[in-house]
Amino acid sequence: MSDTHLRSGDRYARELERHLGWLDTFTSTALGVLATASGIYTYLGVRTLLDDPGIWTTFAALAYSIAVSVGIFVFWSYMIRLLPAVRSAASIIGLLLTMALGSVAIIAMSSWLNAAALAGSAAVEQHMATTTQRYQAALERAHSNAVAGQSLARDVARVRQSFTDLSEQEAGGNLSGFAGRGAVFRVLTQKGSELQALEDQLNGLADPIAAAFDQGNATLSRMRDMGVAAGPIGERTVTFSEEAVNLSGLIVQLRQLNPAPLVARAAQDLRDAVLVPELDGTSAETRAGQTSTITSVLGLVDQRSDTLAQAAADVIAQPAPDDVAYTAISAADAVILYRDNFIPAWAGAIAIDLLPAVLVFILMVVQAAIRSGRGENLTDDMMTVGELRAALAAADVLRMVEPESRTVPRPADASLPDVATAPATPVLIRPAE
């Protein structure tokens, strides 16, 4: 390597060293500020996990945040000083793995708490909004099932009307051939009365179902308002929890108001509970006609019963509302649960802890450039004019010292060369930059 190239590389290295020296004057301060900021947000995150407002809780949160700040500052101070200075590949890889492990530890002990402090309230509000949507879906499903069950009243009315029409025909003697209100008429009116009672019961459920649904919608409206209202999130979650309990009761009420199981049981009773009256025909021929007609009526009852049972089964087969229960969670848990919705907060929380890693990589590049500029030569053999002047001034000071204080006993080994006769090591003197 030529002297010109050597001097140019050394000048380049010294220029980088001067920049590093200036930057080093505030690097520690910058690390301290970042570590302190992380500690503050860590303290706020810890406070969201500790419900007790006592002095010991505050002290514990403060101690944890201070430990985090000190740990971050010391860890990155080690990395900034040591990683750029090592040269062997094994040392570099080892320290890089150490830095990766330390970064994971910092994220585990600090970053998620920082994210809780940055977006904890918003995450809890997101949890409330998500829970409200689930409650709304459950309420609508329960109301839909109840309305479908109540609409079976039309099927019951249709079956009941068929028995009413048959009873009118029997009263005129068009069925059994025996006019009047005989045994066949009484069987038909018996089933008609049963279906009329069931129809009235179903129609009476319309208002309670509508009232429960309206009350549930009003509760949902209040729950939505709590999710976006101003004020401490803790107080709002308490009120939200109370409203959630009330809404759960309304959903259960709507499930109980669903009359489909009642219709299914009534359809079974319609087939099984048949009281056949005594035949009242005046002749054997008339009684035979009544018997034949009653048998046909019972067959018709079985058919209508199957129709109602199938309609009720279709309603019962509809998806049931999901079981929803609101569980209050802390801000830290909410940030983790809804992390996909708060990526910017997570990015900021992690960046404030891992930003010094960028400084470490910058120093690694600069130190490698310094070593490349100087090559394999020892920079201790190179002096600027200013350094030479300082060395000469130091020599003048040494000459002013008493001779006896500078007397050095000659070694016993006479083979050692005398200092005065020893060859001088050449020194390359460069102009001061």
Question: What's the CATH code of the domain at 236?
Answer: 1.20.1260
Q: What is the pLDDT of residues 90-127, one digit of tens each?
A: 988 999 999 999 999 999 888 888 888 888 888 888 89
- Top pLDDT among 66 and 275 is at 66
* Tokens (6 digits) for 185: 């008429």
Q: Model's pTM, two decimal places?
A: 0.67
Write down the pLDDT at residue 391: 78
Residues 131 and 114 in one domain: no
Residues 203 and 318 in one domain: yes
* Tokens (6 digits) for 266: 């009534």
- Other beta carbons within 10 angstroms of residue 408's beta carbon come to 6
Average pLDDT, the chain: 78
Residues 61 and 161 in one domain: no
Stated as kind and residue range, the H or E segment containing 338 is: none
Q: Domain range for residue 25?
A: 3-120+342-374
Write down the pLDDT at residue 49: 77
- 58 domain-assigned: yes
Write down the pLDDT at residue 289: 59
Burial class (CB in 10 A: 0-12, 13-18, 19+), 37: middle
Residues 213 and 313 in one domain: yes
Among 166, 228, 220, CA closest to 191: 166
Whole-number Å distance between alpha carbons of 34 and 395: 46
* pLDDT at residue 174 greater than cutoff 80: no
Among 45, 281, 257, CA closest to 177: 281
Work out the angle between the directed axes of helices 112-150 and 284-316 (0-180°, nearest 10).
170
Stated as kind and residue range, the H or E segment containing 428 is: strand 428-430
Q: What is the pLDDT of residues 134-147, one digit of tens each?
A: 999 999 999 999 99
Residues 141 and 186 in one domain: yes
Q: What is the pLDDT of residues 45-93, one digit of tens each?
A: 888 777 666 788 788 889 999 999 999 999 999 999 898 888 888 988 9
Q: Average pLDDT in the 9-17 region?
A: 76
Per cent of the chain over pLDDT 90 is 22
Residues 47 and 64 in one domain: yes
